[in-house]
Amino acid sequence: MALTIDQPIEHKQQSLAARLFASQTFWVVIAVILACVFLSFATDAFATSKNLYNITRNITFVAIIALGMTFVIITGGIDLSVGSVLCLSSMILAVTMHAGYSIEVGILASIATALAIGAFNGILIAYLGFPPFVVTLGMLSIARSLAMVASNNTVVFQFGPDHAKLLALGGGAWVFGIANPVLYMILLALITGFILRWTKFGRHIFAIGGNEHAATLTGVPVRQIKVAVYMISALSAGIAGIIQTGWLGAVTTNLGTGMELQVIAATVIGGANLAGGVGTAFGAIVGAALIEVIRNSLGLLGINAFWQGVFIGGAILLAVLFDRIRNFRRSD
Amino acid sequence: MAVLELTNISRHFGAIQAVNDVSLSIEPGQVVGLMGDNGAGKSTLVKMIAGNFRPSHGTMHMDGKELILHKPAEARQHGIEIVHQDLALCNNLTAAANVYLGRELRRGVGPFRILDYAAMYKRAGQLFAELKSETRPRDLVKQMSGGQRQAVAIARTMLSQAKIVLMDEPTAAISVRQVAEVLNLIRHLRDQGISVVLISHRMPDVFTVADRVIVMRRGRKVADKTIASSSPEEVTGLITGAIEQV
């Protein structure tokens, strides 16, 4: 008797199709594909190489930070400071290079700044027990303010001797005409996916999000890992900042304003759970893609830009609705 | 020879004497029921064995050698494993991942080491088979029954060569049928020569599975006798204080 009940259950769990249909990320991918197909027929401008180049590149900045945010969200935390950290890292890079230092020094200073901020956030959260929301909200304000201090609130658009290198780094397309930022994003997504699936560190991140107390009791170094995830999140913001600086060719102190919410939206649309324990690298990219496709399509379809927020907000609710429906079905 | 021997162990927290001059010894392959009312000192005693607290007075010996524990990880190294009351499981992970939590198997060389899923699934599956549990290594813990969850928590203690397994109220929050399942798991541990200390409020469980019962009241050991020579009525009397000491 037990066998007859077990078999269909096992079959259901093993079946790839069933697992796909149960995944929020899968449905978001379908939504992105449908939107793209629809737009190719509905507008002439969508399926042009110029527009696709723009879309893929625009996805990257949110997507790269969303990859870092995924680590934090899986542990059950949140990082609201990423938009400001992006701005500060960009500004440190810009100011350092403007002062005549090489691009290597600039990038090093920029990355070091991001990591220091991440470590600061992480230590306050992991060792002093501050709520992540509050710490990173504070840092949202502090980092942007520091960016203003560093630049005296001016626009920096001259990057010293390595000016051209920096612009090529962010604005070029070295392989098959794919925008460089897209290549970085793919590389970072592969690294993120690998860490989450195949490393002890990744396993422990999921454990902390699932049951932090259990992780502590079983000897998982919970505090160190929490510091590390906030450093990763800040690092991803720093990397996005460097790339964005190269692409834009100028840094202002309002760079990345409100970006933290787009990033969190992308992560959640892609299937991460803000309560912790769930999230994937692929989901973060797909979530960012859906947001960008919505934005792009509204422009191409001639819909007033003021409607953007409604559609993106709707996408967030719809994505989470799928998750709720699944849970309701399970509890039945 | 006793696998674990406690001699005149005491522990106080400020003015409160939580455990007072307790001596006991646990033989290999023995199931010992540790009973007592709330605040009797059971948990404090177990936490000293598990390395959470250090005794204020007294000594512990394991296999004849003195045992000094500074943290839980050291207890684990000595073969002392604990099944926590809340089981300490992560619902979002598979059974195998939970069994190996904190001691994941990896393959590869140097810094390039990745999780060895195959080996962990295989070994976890063997452990569940040894426990005669129907738990499957790839299933998520959130889909499991109380008994299966207990099996996961107990399989964890069998990963290394455990000598003593401390179980904190393993039957407190599960159904009657699952209680029987857990008691079976305890018997399987015993059959492998592992000593089990079963902390429980449930008289029937202790009398079903334990060889010996130790009763504590107000920090003192008031009884330590074989199950055969005791009765639930006597133990109840000892717990409540109706019977002073035996």
Residue A285 binned pLDDT confidence (cut-offs 50, 70, 90): very high
CATH architecture of A57-323: Orthogonal Bundle (1.10)
How many domains in chain B? Answer: 1
Residue B58 lies in a domain: yes
Per-residue pLDDT, A15: 66
Whether B93 and A210 lie within 8 Å, measured CB to CB: yes
Residue B173 located in a structural domain: yes
Closest partner residue to B102 (CB to CB) among A206, A210, A220 is A220
Q: What is the pLDDT of residue B122?
A: 95
pLDDT of residue A121: 97
The strand pairing partners of B198, in sequence order, are B33, B167
In this complex, how many residue pairs, one in chain A and one in chain B, have their CB atoms less than 8 Å apart?
A: 67
Task: Write down the pLDDT at residue A2.
Answer: 43
Return the residue in B92, B103, B157 with the most chain A beta carbons within 10 A, the one to mutate for interface testing.
B92
A contacts of B73 (beta carbons < 8 Å): 219
Q: Is residue B196 part of a domain?
A: yes
Residues B187-227 have pLDDT tens digits of: 988 998 899 999 988 888 899 999 999 999 999 999 999 99
Tell me what the pLDDT averaged over chain B comes to: 89
Dist CA B216 CA B209 (whole Å)? 19
**pTM strictly above 0.80:** yes
C-alpha A330/C-alpha A190 separation (Å) is 32
Domain boundaries of chain A, sorted by first residue: 57-323
B119 within some domain: no
Is residue B17 one of the residues assigned to a domain? yes
Q: Which residue has the higher pLDDT, A207 or B143?
A: A207
Q: At what angle do helices A24-42 and A281-300 cross, to 10 degrees?
A: 30
**Exposed/middle/buried for residue A139 (C-beta within 10 Å: 0-12, 13-18, 19+):** buried
pLDDT at residue A13 is higher than 80: no
Task: Tell if the CB–CB gap between B115 and A207 is shorter than 8 Å.
Answer: no
Considering the domain boundaries, does residue B151 fall inside one?
no
For residue A8, what pLDDT is reported? Answer: 46
Q: Does A271 touch chain B (CB under 8 A)?
A: no
pLDDT band at A12 (very low <50, low <70, confident <90, very high): very low
Distance CA A240, CA A188 (A): 11
Pick from A96-110, A163-177, B129-143 the range whose average pLDDT is largest. A96-110
Whole-angstrom Cα distance, residue A94 to residue A242?
Answer: 9
State the residue range of the domain holding B29: 4-89+163-240
Considering the domain boundaries, does residue B193 fall inside one?
yes
- Give domain status of residue B223, yes or no: yes
Residue A331 has a pLDDT of: 58
Range A248-262 average pLDDT? 91
Q: What is the CATH number of the domain that holds B172?
A: 3.40.50.300
Question: Pick from B93, B114, B156: which is nearest to A207 by CB?
Answer: B93
pLDDT over 70 (residue B9): yes
Residues A103, A258 contacting (CB under 8 angstroms): no
The interface predicted TM-score (ipTM) is: 0.82
